[in-house]
Amino acid sequence: MKKIKEIIFVNESGSEEGIEEAEKYIKKAVKTAVGFFKFPSGYQVSVTLVDEDHIRELNREYRNVDSSTDVLSFPLEETDPRGARILGDIVLCRDVAVRQAEEFCHSLERELSYLTVHSFLHLMGYDHMDDEEKLKMRSMEKRIMRKMGVFKNMDRTEASREDRELIRLATEMLDMAYCPYSRFHVGAALLTSSGKIYTGCNVENASYPAGICAERTAAAKAVSEGERHFVKIAIACSGEGYAYPCGVCRQFLNEFADDDFEVILVKRSGEWERASFSKLLPHGFRGKDMGIEID
């Protein structure tokens, strides 16, 4: 049986201007998001573009809230007669999307794409009711947006809540370091594509080569829990400067690093900076580069 891949797009925004482009962005966002989930018999999702009055009416009816929002999601757990999973309905407000695109100084394409991805994750059960859930959902949004090629990179001097949490956890791990020989404490906090964070510290040994760096401690914990995709890592140290990962750690992380994997380096003073992993390891290699198939 042919796998069903159906995206139903409806324009109820009251305007036809730019609708063909908007439909293209929205469908691309859904298809990219679907790629992160497995639907053996296919899927069906409905996306409706509305104006501000319409979404306000929906908010009153379904949420008892008398205000407009940028999106609404209505998840479904049903299967159509062809066996495809009916994911639910997404409602996007074009008026709010236009305003937000102007406010955040990016394109309407980027805003509609983001809102679609955000809504789709709601259909899949993701939420942002507390900081932990928000961090996990935000990580998924970034991965999908990067795949689409419309992710707006954060300024190198700006720290998101996600970054601040990684920096905090990496710094806390300095107290856990076992380093009686070097007296140099290192802590790491690794964010994976699932949204989970794994921490680690350096653990030294009287047989020096048997020691392990903080980065690999965190990475090994993540892999042992089934993680296979790393998004970013924060590395804190007790020294005056930044503790860049050693060559072994760079190659170890590269095995599971996403293409735009980020490294945040933190000094004892609390100062921090970003480092491009591609520059730290310009010619790293993975099994797939050698023709090895890895699950």
Q: Annotated active-site positions, please?
A: 215
- Strands of 71-79's sheet in order across: 4-12, 42-50, 85-93, 71-79
The CA distances from residue 115 to 54, 77, 122, 138, 153, in Å, are: 17, 21, 11, 12, 17
Which residue in 110, 107, 116, 123 sits closest to 9, CA to CA? 116
Alpha carbons within 13 angstroms on the beta-carbon side of residue 248 total: 8
The two counts, helices (H) then strands (E), for the chain are 9, 9
The CA distances from residue 62 to 57, 67, 120, 221, in Å, are: 9, 12, 18, 43
The whole-angstrom separation of Cα 115 and Cα 26 is 9
The DSSP bridge pattern shows strands 197-201 and 186-192 to be antiparallel
The whole-angstrom separation of Cα 220 and Cα 28 is 35
Contact 192, 221 (CB under 8 A): no
